[in-house]
Amino acid sequence: MTDQVINIVADIGGTNLRIGVINEKGNVDLLTVYQCNDFDDLSAIVQTFLVEKSIVAKEINACFAIACPVDNDLIKMTNLPWQFSKSELKQILGFKKLLFINDYTAIAHAIPFLNDEQKVKVGGGSVIQGKPISICGPGTGLGVANVVPVGSHWEALGGEGGHVDFAPVDATEIAILEILLKKYNHVSYEQILSGLGLEQIYHALCEIHQRDLPKLSAQEISTNALNKQCDICQQTLEQFCKTLGSFAGNLALTLASFGGVYIAGGIVPRFTEYLINSEFRSRFEDKGRFNLFNSSIPTFVVTESQPGILGASAYLRQHNKEEL
């Protein structure tokens, strides 16, 4: 590999880091997953990957998708105690090019290239080509992004939409908000639509119904709900799907997302069929005078396991072409 130009992409979340090498066809080879908590910092993971895969090249370019804002040189991760300078990291690694994009900016760049095997439709009309696309994804946090066509390429509109105010729309959600306000000065949608969110809905419903149930993890709650082993767990998952529908519908209204609204992240693909049969879609459309507006907008669950990696690859390849 010493005479080659190597292009590396990574998807850095609050829990896992996925990293690989883009091949000549634009696909990703040598894909490897590391646990972030096993390393002191990002450079240690990247250097471990380079050594393990014997990657040596005259030029290495990279695009890293990361779960936090990337506008400044100093990166501070939202759900992981890591912070570093982008310019210093580039120097430490010896890369010619090191691009950082928000993790949902990466997913946004992947969406236009997904095929029917990489997504599942959950109601609505047909995608209108050339129109804005919105993405949200419950996982460790709640990622949000949008992507719009600009000429011959796609431009992602990043942001931190998961941290907007949680807006309850029924009595149960109002009660959940009141309980969470005892714990937080500000309750965002991320406090509801995430792994932690599932746990917090569960705890709130236990309090609302005066039930003394054991503390459960998000995975245990969803598993119990799907297996119908716990009525509060079932109510928790139902509430999660309803709130997600409302939030996704808000995204559709904000950007007129006639290119579709996509649900990504690590949580929802585990129970896609459940989501389809839930009140997700009715809450998505339940927007008063704008019911008809949202009813025509299609929604999808992203079932592709590595959308961040695909998006980082698409972004880096697009960036390289623009420099030619």
Q: What is the pLDDT of residues 121-141, one digit of tens each?
A: 999 999 999 999 999 999 888
* 112 backbone dihedrals φ, ψ, rounded to 5°: -60, -15
Give the annotated binding-site residues for ATP. 10-15
Q: Tell me how far the alpha carbon of residue 50 is from its chain's centroid.
A: 26
Coil, helix or strand at residue 320: helix
| Contact predicate 298/1, CB 8 Å | no
pLDDT at 3: 65
State the first-to-last Cα distance of the chain, in angstroms, to the nearest integer.
Answer: 23
Q: SS3 of 25, please?
A: coil
Using CA atoms, how far apart are residues 202 and 225, in angstroms rounded to an integer?
A: 11
Q: Is the pLDDT of residue 43 over 70?
A: yes
Could you give the CA distance from residue 222 to residue 244 in angstroms, rounded to a whole number? 15
Q: Which helix (H) or strand (E) holds 46?
A: helix 42-52
* pLDDT, mean of residues 43-60: 94
Q: What is the mean pLDDT of residues 213-220?
A: 95
Distance CA 93, CA 55 (A): 12
Percent of the chain residues topping a pLDDT of 70: 98
Annotated binding site: 10-15
Under a CB-based contact definition with an 8 Å cutoff, are residues 292 and 299 in contact? no
Q: Which residue has the higher pLDDT, 172 or 320?
A: 172
Q: Is there a contact between 110 and 314 (Cβ–Cβ < 8 Å)? A: yes
Residue 2: is its pLDDT beyond 70? no
Is residue 63 predicted with pLDDT exceeding 60? yes
Which amino acid is located at 44 in the chain? A
pLDDT in tens, 67-111: 888 989 999 987 788 999 999 999 999 999 999 998 888 889 999
- What average pLDDT does the segment 244-252 reach? 98
Residues sharing a CB contact under 8 Å with residue 166, sequence separation 6 or more, in sequence order: 173, 177, 180, 187, 188, 189, 191, 192
Distances (CA, A) of 187 to 163, 178, 183, 224, 234: 8, 10, 9, 26, 23
Strand partners, 5: 59
Separation between Cα atoms, residue 33 and residue 233, nearest integer Å: 30
* Burial group, residue 91, by CB count within 10 angstroms (0-12, 13-18, 19+): exposed
CA distances from 320 to 22, 61, 101, 109 (A): 13, 9, 15, 15
Position 13 pLDDT exceeds 60:
yes
What average pLDDT score do residues 245-266 get?
96
- The DSSP symbol for 262 reads E
Q: What is the pLDDT of residues 159-216, one digit of tens each?
A: 789 999 999 999 999 999 999 999 999 999 999 999 999 999 999 999 999 999 999 9
Give yes or no for residue 300 having a pLDDT over 50: yes
- Strands 133-138 and 59-66 turn out to be unpaired
Mode of pairing for the β-strands spanning 133-138 and 83-85: unpaired
Residue type for position 317: R
Write down the pLDDT at residue 324.
47
DSSP state of 182: T
How would residue 157 be classed by pLDDT, with cut points 50, 70 and 90?
A: confident
Quickly list H helices, 181-296.
195-208, 218-226, 231-255, 272-276, 280-285, 291-295
- Note whether 136 and 264 are within 8 A (CB): yes
Q: Is the pLDDT of residue 29 over 90?
A: yes
pLDDT digits (tens, 9 = 90+) for 268-286: 999 999 999 999 999 999 9
More confident site: 157 or 301: 301
Q: Which domains does the chain have, with CATH numbers?
A: 5-103 (3.30.420.40), 115-303 (3.40.367.20)
